[in-house]
Every structure is written in structure tokens, then in C-alpha cells.
Amino acid sequence: MNNLIKHGTEYGGWLLPKNCELDETSIIYSGGVGEDISFDAIINSMYNCNIFLIDPTRRAVNHFEEFKQYCMHKTPFTGNIQKDYYIKIKNLHMNVDKFYYESIGLWNKKDTLKFYKQRNPNYVSQSIIENMFGNEYDIVDVDTIKSLMEKHNHTKIDLLKLDIEGAEIKVLNNMLDDNIFPRYLCIEFDLKLKNKDSQNETERLMNRLTENGYKILINDDWNVTFEYTVISYAP
């Protein structure tokens, strides 16, 4: 913990090394943003890096539009905003031109799938995984990390953050199959966190990640930060 620092709100923040190797050329993919992009805002403010927000939920799209207005005019947010959100972002100097939005879900193939809503309408998160939340759903387009990289002509990802309500297992296994190795991973393992991992998929994936060169920097209640330890980390 002494070499790590948390960026973002208590709810939406992530731990990264204090000497994190990011700069203005870095590419950040942030999957599952909801109504809290404090982590992404802080990383952009610190390093002037390129932030690609990935979330198909309508409220997340609306929040990003409000975020841009807040950056320009300090207009207030609507929605279910964390109590420490304003505190974390109010004094940041962000480059809004380096934020990009993809209104799709991440998955292990290109498809159109059900995106299940939570039973409590106050909660913004939705999931591709059946039985994760309620029975009501939206229909959303999904695609792979590789496809997004090809779309934007990216040859590497410097940091991948995933909070995608159980889809992280298929997304990360597919990423490894495609020989894509981001320098840093910030992953919420939701199947484990919500006691829905009856097949031990999380442990198998974490073993695969470590076998492929990833070091676990911290496991904070299944919010895990990894660093790729192979010197040349670009695919």
C-alpha cells in the first residue's frame, strides 16, 4: 500500500503506483463508467492522457455530457452522484478534448445482447450476465477490446480499467487470446464480489493473468490492480 495511491472517489476510485508510468501519449480504456468518472478525470488531469470511456447505459452517456458541461461551466450533475464526487474533481485541470466515448458494452465478440438492469432504479450499473441483477433489460451492442483498438488505430493500451458487472471474465480471457497486454489493469471481479462465481472462473483468470506476466499489486476486496512485468508490454 505504501507505493500505491488511490485516485477518485471512495466508490469509484482505483489504486495505482505512485510512480505510474503514464504520459500525454498514454491510452486509457475505461470500461463501465456509470455516473462516476472521477478516476478517469484525475488521471487525465495528472498525465494529460487519452481517456476512452466505454459504457452503453443511457445514464452513463448522459453523465458524460454533463461532465463536459461541468468542465466548461461548472453546471451541477443530475443522477445518483457520490457525495465526495465534487470534492475530487472540482479543482482539476482536465483536457476535455482528450476524452472519448464509446456507447457499447465490452464482450468477447461483436454482438447485440440483453443488458440487465438492477432492481433498484437508483443504481446505474447494468450487466450482460443473466441473473446478476433483475429481469428487465435494454438491448445493446457489444464488441471486443481488439475491435476498439483497430477502430482507433491503437497499437497498445497503457491502462485498462474494467467495472463491467461480471463480463470481465470473458473480456479479459478474450484480450489475452488476442495477445493484448495493457501495462496496468484495474479490475473489479464482480462474479467473486457478488458470490456468483460457482465455477471459480475468477481464480482461473487471475492465474492466467499472472502466468502471462501480470503482477498483482493489490487485491482490495476483489478490486485488483495488476502491472505487466514484461519489459516490452506493447502487443
In a domain, 84, yes or no: yes
Q: Distance between CA atoms of 132 and 22, rounded to whole angstroms? A: 34
In a domain, 48, yes or no: yes
For the chain, how long is the longest CA-to-CA vector? 49
pLDDT at 192 over 60: yes
In a domain, 147, yes or no: yes
In a domain, 77, yes or no: yes
Query: Residue 94's pLDDT is what?
Result: 94
pLDDT at 123 over 90: no
Query: Residue 232's pLDDT is what?
Result: 58
The enclosing domain of 38 has a CATH number of 3.40.50.150
DSSP letter at 3 equals: T
pLDDT tens per residue across span 41-100? 999 999 999 999 999 999 999 999 999 999 999 999 998 898 999 999 999 999 999 999
**Residues 182-203, mean pLDDT to the nearest whole number:** 90
Residues spanned by the domain of 73: 29-228
Q: Distance between CA atoms of 203 and 61, rounded to whole angstroms? A: 32
In a domain, 5, yes or no: no
Domain count for the chain, please give it.
1
In a domain, 201, yes or no: yes
Model confidence at 193, pLDDT cuts 50, 70, 90, reads: confident
Non-local (6+) Cβ contacts of 121 within 8 A are none
Amino acid at 226: F
High-pLDDT (> 90) share of the chain, %:
76
Q: What's the predicted TM-score (pTM) here?
A: 0.93
In a domain, 233, yes or no: no
Model confidence at 1, pLDDT cuts 50, 70, 90, reads: low
With residue 218 as reference, give the H or E element that holds it. Answer: strand 214-220
DSSP letter at 231 equals: S
**Residues 106-134, mean pLDDT to the nearest whole number:** 83
Distances (CA, A) of 235 to 16, 100, 180: 22, 22, 5
In a domain, 116, yes or no: yes
